[in-house]
């Protein structure tokens, strides 16, 4: 892959609590992003205060949808609760997580 390849990134910024009531809204945001020509989706969780099992499921469903379109999905800006949840469920092995959007942009620019 050429380092000059441009990445067309679509950023999704859910907010509040990512649970069963918000999961459908989140999935529709992912589906909208997949309708664009973005080859990379960044889920910025800086405004998410809590994720439950439904929210975690929505993230996994989103990742599967993104991969089925042969695109990439990354996560950034997770708080301590989300980080612990990812570790307990081994999701840190499933998702590539960046500390913040700047770290993501730096890493992507170097790919």
pLDDT per residue over 68-91, tens digit each? 999 999 999 999 999 999 999 999
If you average pLDDT over residues 18-33, what whole number do you get?
94
| Domains present along the chain, CATH in parentheses | 9-106 (3.30.750.24)
If you average pLDDT over residues 11-26, what whole number do you get?
94
Give 48's strand partners.
16
pLDDT exceeds cutoff 90 at 41: yes
pLDDT of residue 5: 43
- For the full predicted model, state whether its pTM sits above 0.95: no
pLDDT of residue 6: 57
Contact indicator for 40, 7 with CB cutoff of 8 Å: yes
Contact indicator for 85, 75 with CB cutoff of 8 Å: no
Tokens linked to 48: 């998410």
pLDDT band for position 110 (cuts 50, 70, 90): confident
If you average pLDDT over residues 4-31, what whole number do you get?
88
pLDDT exceeds cutoff 90 at 1: no
């Amino acid at each position: 892959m050429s380092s000059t390849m441009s990445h067309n990134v679509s950023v999704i910024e859910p907010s509040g609590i990512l649970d069963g009531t918000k999961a459908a809204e989140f999935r529709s945001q992912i589906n909208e992003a997949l309708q664009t020509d973005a080859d990379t989706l960044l889920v910025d969780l800086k405004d998410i205060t809590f994720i439950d099992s439904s929210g975690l499921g929505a993230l996994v469903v989103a990742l599967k949808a993104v991969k089925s379109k042969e695109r990439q999905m990354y996560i950034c800006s997770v708080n301590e609760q989300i980080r612990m949840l990812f570790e307990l469920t081994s999701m840190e092995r499933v998702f590539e997580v960046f500390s913040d959007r700047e770290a993501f942009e730096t890493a992507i620019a170097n790919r």
